[in-house]
Each structure stands twice: as structure tokens, then as C-alpha cells.
A and B are shown apart, each in its own frame.
Chain A
């Protein structure tokens, strides 16, 4: 399986690799600076009790972002070890 999914659509607990993240946009640049780069593996930790934002684990830290940003990030499945 090699389908591309949006980060906002991933289930809690899944790990996936960033396939693409928009370039040249203020908020996306900040997410890149926090380590969300194409090729980076991230894990969906949980959704907030009200459904949004989403908590992810990336490069050892926990980051929360809104679905509005998460839906612009495309993910591919993590390679199995």
C-alpha cells in the first residue's frame, strides 16, 4: 500500500512519513522549523477531547496543530522495519 493520506485523516496511534508539506507559507515554515520535513516520521498521539487540534510526536517532542493545517500535509505509510 502506498496511498497518500492527509495528516488530518490519520487514526490515533498511527505512524507515518511526511510525503509533502506546502512550501512558502508562514505557518508551514514554522512547522518545518519544528521538524516536520518531507521524509520525517511522525506519530499521531491523540485528538483533543473536542476533536481538534491534533497532538503529534515529531523528533522527540509533542506538537499540537489544528486540522486546518494538518489537512495540508500529505503522508505516506511508514516503512516497516
Chain B
């Protein structure tokens, strides 16, 4: 699709001819995404800005007379004084500073018309960038409902006569008018009416000269570029070298010394002007009553009902994940079994057939089987984001999460990880503070995901001496393991916050948007997009590792008919024997070692590997395998699977990474191998130490 796009826009805002490349800009929750979807249909391309984990959305739109134009949906932001990677991207794209994204030729500024004053703040900053602008007053239906009117003619005049389009993007009202304005020839460059003080301007001139020498500045001379770079608060300051960053800091300090509070003065003069404009253009015919959002919040944020609703919603979510997802998961399993059977009956016996059935199909199937859960989670997260409830959850949980140095927005990703860490890690994108986001990503896989369940259940069955396990005992053990995972996640969040990632934490400032009816198509589309990304990114890695793991348990071939012996003589078996001295202090023998190696990519594989090692056929019921495990003896005649060993093994799985899908997703979300490798290392180390402690301390205390 990229090849078909128009050539790069010139760096200067062209004011002659019509525009073929627009950017959509606005505050979060202004309805920008709804408008983007309405303009482009589903002809969108979603990706990433290189070097940062900020979503890049681009699409094609056909105007009223069939003219094809290109639209870039820039991340929702409050200001060009960037405070997060999202806002840096917005600033850099609009200033033409990003080499991967040409500077837009025109900007469509989307405003929430019910909240003009706040939304005009970013708008006036954008209007100073010398780009043609169109002002969209979105949510006009709600403005009418509130008996309020906005004088669009006066508003247009205030900003130099640019088009002002009243709209209601969710009802597609005003779309034709907007497209008409977008097709205009000789589009207008607005004036914001805010000006820089003369002496501030002089200082910026000097800064510009100095910064130019470090090659930070792009394009033509523009004082706004040093202005916004000097006020950059993005802790990652992406794309800048240390040398450039130091130059910016030096200039910033000298500007702070010569003009104390210059940023705050700019904010004040902007709001002064905006306030005057709003006074002139907005007529309120009625005192503002209690809105529907207020009334909902009285219950949803109530000290008692609020928790009840939250618990109810989360209860529903987990019921869906563990009960409703069960059916489709069974179908997926059946499908992969059927596929393996088809391959088996159509290929002649040999290594290639085994590779296909036991390597490729089983490996991919093992990951795809979690798709129903992942889809449900994505849907729920999308629903909560879209309706505005997510911000309320963050508001309620903030106090609790701040105890370990995180903020309320980390709650949902951590919670989702109790079903599967993949959507959990992907949901951290809503956390705008990069440090909190990274810590949340690092600790999310400690939450007890559903792939751990089969391992826990097998171990509990082996550990509890009765034939049928009392329901309460099983739940008790499971809760213990989950609590250990949560405790671990909080402990490491606290630790990383204090040691690894010191530095200024951003304060939690959160907007609570008005509730809105969910846009189902958009939620479904988003869910599909995220799932597709996961499958594509994780798919290749998982396929590769599945084949490698299959090879490890298959080669070198011993020619032995007994699969258990064949496995012992394979590479994995050799690794199991080789690592036995290292895992012995944890209570594990070489057979468990094979299980650990084979479940390296997916935890639940441990169970199927154990059934191969112990030649137990029935995979539906765990009892035969359990009985086999209970009777397993060490060379000296003592049982292998003592309660101490079972516990040690469970604790190992609480902390160990053992999930390649998560590694792949973390690599994508942190933009490199550094953090996934660190995460793998710290988790495996913790798992080994914890297992060692359980086994050794248990031994000293005299447990079998």
C-alpha cells in the first residue's frame, strides 16, 4: 500500500493547490479515532513509528469527487510540550523532524465541542506551525442536547478564516462538509493570535543557533522547534544522542535563568486568549445540569457500589475466559488433532511427517489454543477503553498500585496477565509514563496465567495422597500459587522502581472522559488488529522454536521403538542428564529436566512431555500420569515426586518465564532484545532460587 501513496510532502506548508496528505490531531477522547474510521473505512495500515512503541495509523480516504488522499492519525495529545513518547511523535511529525514520516501538508484539528476551552489549547499550538488547518467541532449532537450553541463564523474569524466544521463523527454528521473543506484549493494557514514576547524570541534565536550546530534541528528556521524541544519532558527523549540531549538541557537551563517560568507564562497567555474567544463564541442557554456521566459515576466510583461493580465486571471477564473460552479452545484442539491426523495419513512415515505433526502442528496449535482467551481479553480491554470505564478503574486502583511505585493504569494489564500475559503486555500501551510501562511489562508474566494451570493441577494431584482431591484443597493450593505470583509481581515492581529504573517518576494526572456508548465495529476491528499483530510477530518465533524443540527431543535417533527411551537418548534427554547436577538441589531429576527444557516455549507442554517420558498414553485424564508419577522411584528406592518436589516444581513455574509468546511480545513492545532477555534472566534466576529454597528449607524442616 505504501508504494501507492503520494510522494513526500514538501517541508513547508504548501498553500497552493489542494492537499493530498492530511494529519488528524486532537486531545485524547476527542473522537479522533471515530472520525479516522469514518473517513478511511477500514482501509487502514497500522504499524509502529520506528524506534518507539507508538502506534502509527495511516489510511486512504476518497473525497466527494473521488479524489484519493492520504490521512495520518497522530497520537492523541494534550500539548506540543511533549511529556510522553506519544506527544514527542506528534511534535516531531508536525515539525517535519521524523525521517520515516513526511511532514503532513495539512492538519485536521479535532475538538470536543462540549469542552472547547481545554481542547483549543493544543489547537492554538498547532495553528502556529504554518500548516493549513481545518477545525472540526466534534460531538455537536451533545452540544445541542445541552442547549448550547457555538458561533462557528466567529470562531473561524478568530483564527484567520480557516474552515470550521460542526460534526458528530459517531453519527457521520458533517462528514460531507469536512471532505468538501479538505478538497479546497489554496487552503488557509491560520493565525492563533498568541505571540512570543520579544525578549523570549531573542533568546530562542540564540538557542536555535546553538542547537543547529548539534544537528538536532531539521528543516527551515522556525523558532517553535527550539521552543518545543527545550520543553521536552519525554523521559526517553527518543532519537536524540546524549550530546544533543545535553545541548538541549544546557539551553533549557539558560532560558530558565533568563526567563523564569517562561513555559507557564506561555500557557497563561494561551488560556487568556482562548477564554476570550470562548466567551464570544459559545452561548450557554441553560445552567449546566447533572450529566449522565456524573450520575453514572455516583455509582461506579461509589466507595461500596464502585467496588461491587468492578468485582462484578472482573468476575464476568474471568468467567468468560475460563468457561466460555473452553468450548472454542476444545474446537481448536480438535482441529489441530484432525490436521495432524490428515497429514499423518497423507504422508509416508518418516522424519518429515513427524516434523509436521509433532513439531509444526503441535507447536503452533499449542499457542493458537489460547486465542479464544486472548480475543476475549482484547475485546474487554477495548470495551473498557472505549466506554471510558478504564480511566475509572485506574482512578480507583491508583492508591493501591502507588504503594509499589506504579500507577492505576498498571492494574488492568497486570490483571489481564492472570489469563494470559500476551494481551496484558500489549495493554500496557495505555500507560503513558515509559518507566511505569516498562516495569509493568517486566512483572506482568509473574501473574498466574492459564498455561500454568495444567502444571499446577498435575502437581497438586500428585502431591495430595488421596484418590480424589478435595475441592477445597485444590483451590487452596491454586490460590497459594496465584498469591505467590502476585506477591512476586508487586515485590519486583517495588524493587525495579527503587533500583533499576530510578529517576523522576511522572505524576499520575488522568482525565476522566465522559462515558460513551461503545463503537462496536471499532472495538472489533481493534481486537482483530492486535490479534493479527500477535499472531504475526509471535508466529514466526514460535514456529522456529517449536521445530528446534521438536528436533531436540527427536535427534539423535536411537532407533528405539519405545518413545520414552528414544527421548532419553535424544538431545533433550542428554541436556536433562547434563543439567541434573544443577537441578538436583531443587529436587529435580533428569526426567523433570527434560520437561523443563521441552516446556521452554510453553508451560503446558510440561504435562505432555511427562506423559511421553513415562509412556502414559491417556492425555485426557491426569490420573494415569499421576499414578505413574507417584510410583516413580529414585535409584535408591525413595519416591521422586515427594510433596517437597511437587511444591518446588510448582514454585518454579510460578516464577519462570517459560513462555516464548510473551518473550516475542515483550521484544516488540520494548523495541529490542535487551528487556526480554533481562526479564527471562531475572525470572529464571528467581524461579531457581525459590525452588531451591522450598526444597532445601523443606528438607531441614524434615519434610519428605
| A residues neighboring B (CB under 8 Å) | 23-24, 26-35, 37-38, 45-46, 48-53, 55, 58-66, 68-69
Contacts and interface: CB of A to CB of B under 8 A. Distances in A.
Nearest to B398: A53
Contacts of B402: 52, 66
A64 B301 contact: no
B15 to A, nearest CB: 29
19 contacts: A30-B509, A32-B268, A33-B79, A33-B81, A33-B121, A34-B509, A34-B511, A35-B121, A49-B303, A49-B306, A49-B396, A61-B511, A62-B513, A63-B510, A63-B511, A63-B512, A65-B509, A69-B507, A69-B509
B261 interface: yes
B223 interface: no
Question: Interface majority SS on B: helix, strand, loop or mixed?
Answer: helix
Interface string B134-146: 0000000000000
A22 B256 CA distance: 15
B121 A64 contact: no
A79 to B, nearest CB: 17
Nearest to B271: A37
Contact of A48 (B115, B118, B301): B301
Given A33-B79, A48-B301, A59-B118, A53 B264 contact: no
Contacts of A61: 115, 118, 511
B83 A30 contact: yes
Contacts of B511: 34, 61-64
Contacts of A30: 78-79, 83, 233, 507, 509
A78 B303 CA distance: 28
A59 B115 contact: yes
B398 A65 contact: no
Given A27-B507, A33-B79, A49-B302, 12 more contacts: A24-B263, A29-B81, A33-B267, A34-B118, A46-B297, A52-B399, A52-B402, A60-B114, A63-B512, A64-B510, A65-B508, A69-B509
Which of A48, A60, A65, A68 counts the most B-chain CB atoms under 10 A from its CB? A48
Contact of B512 (A23, A49, A62): A62
Which of A24, A45, A51, A59 counts the most B-chain CB atoms under 10 A from its CB? A59
Contacts of A50: 396, 398-400
Contacts of A48: 301, 395-396, 398-399
B273 to A, nearest CB: 12
B261 A64 contact: no
Contacts of A69: 507, 509
Interface string B104-143: 0000000000111110010000000000000000000000
B506 A55 contact: no
A71 to B, nearest CB: 12
B504 interface: yes
A29 B398 contact: no
B494 interface: no
Interface string B286-307: 0000000100010001110011
A51 to B, nearest CB: 6
Contact of B398 (A24, A34, A35, A66): A66
A52 B398 contact: yes
Contacts of B116: 60
A34 B335 CA distance: 53
A81 to B, nearest CB: 11
Interface in B505-537: 506-513
B260 interface: yes
Contacts of B233: 26, 29-30
Interface string B420-434: 000000000000000
A18 B260 CA distance: 20
B407 to A, nearest CB: 9
A29 B264 contact: yes
A66 B233 CA distance: 19
Contacts of A62: 293, 511-513
Which of A28, A46, A51, A64 counts the most B-chain CB atoms under 10 A from its CB? A64
A24 B260 contact: yes
Nearest to A24: B261
Contacts of A63: 509-512
Contact of B507 (A46, A58, A66): A66
A59 B117 contact: yes
B430 to A, nearest CB: 15
B509 A27 contact: yes
A63 B391 CA distance: 10
A53 B674 CA distance: 34
Nearest to B231: A29
A66 B195 CA distance: 33
A61 B114 CA distance: 9
B73 to A, nearest CB: 22
A29 B508 contact: no
Nearest to A35: B118
Nearest to A52: B399
B400 A29 contact: no
Which of B116, B118, B264, B400 counts the most A-chain CB atoms under 10 A from its CB? B264
A48 B512 CA distance: 12
